Amino acid sequence: MPTLMIVLVLAAGLTAAACDEKLSKLAGPTPNLEPTFSSIQAQIFETTDSAGRRACIICHTNVGRNPSGGLNLVHDGAYDQLVNVASARKPGATRVVPGDAENSYIIHKVEGRPDIVGVQMPLGGPYLTDGQILILKRWIALGAPRN
């Protein structure tokens, strides 16, 4: 019986490792993207990736202008502009709801769902890949931690 337990624990560990490996393949133009805020900030918000998807901070910055959509995604400010913060344009929507990617407005915006106010992000495209969005969702599902 104990042997069976060990085998089961090992199998569960391997499955988790396999999932993470798949995640990095899914991340496409940002292969090192991880479901952490610092990784998403550096590789999605602040970087134009190899597939030509533009950095969000081209528009979502307060440097020299008002940030688009009232949302500043520049370093240090971004987390407090997103998590548990109401949308500036869609009444009742919250930009990021910790633990609930489905109801996080940022996901509706990057997926271009029919319920959004305005247009799909990044404005004008190219849009995020399915893998990039999956990783963003996973960070939210994990409770949207600050790091």
Rule CB under 6 A: choose which of 29, 33, 49, 60 binds ligand HEC: 60
Our finding on whether 74 is near ligand HEC (CB under 6 A) is no
Answer yes or no: are the C-beta atoms of 144 and 98 closer than 8 Å. yes
> Is the alpha carbon torsion for 122, 33, 72, 90 positive or negative?
positive
Tokens coding 113: 């769902």
Answer yes or no: are the C-beta atoms of 44 and 135 closer than 8 Å. no
**Residue bearing tokens 């399915």:** 130
Number of residues this chain uses to bind ligand HEC (CB under 6 A) = 27
Whole-number Å distance between alpha carbons of 84 and 122: 21
Our finding on whether 109 is near ligand HEC (CB under 6 A) is yes
Q: Which residues pair with 86 in a beta bridge?
A: 94
What are residue 36's phi and psi, to 5 degrees?
A: -125, 155
Our finding on whether 126 is near ligand HEC (CB under 6 A) is no
Closest CA to 124 of 64, 53, 20: 53
Nearest distance in Å: CB 53, ligand HEC? 7
Our finding on whether 58 is near ligand HEC (CB under 6 A) is yes
- Residue nearest ligand HEC, Cβ-based: 118
> Nearer to ligand HEC by C-beta: 70 or 99?
70
Rule CB under 6 A: choose which of 31, 124, 125, 143 binds ligand HEC: 124
Tokens coding 61: 């910055």
In the shown chain, the binding pattern of residues 26 to 45 toward ligand HEC, with x for contact by CB under 6 A and - for none, equals: ------------------x-
Residues making contact with ligand HEC (CB under 6 A): 44, 54, 56, 58-60, 68-71, 87-90, 95, 105-106, 109-110, 117-119, 121-124, 128
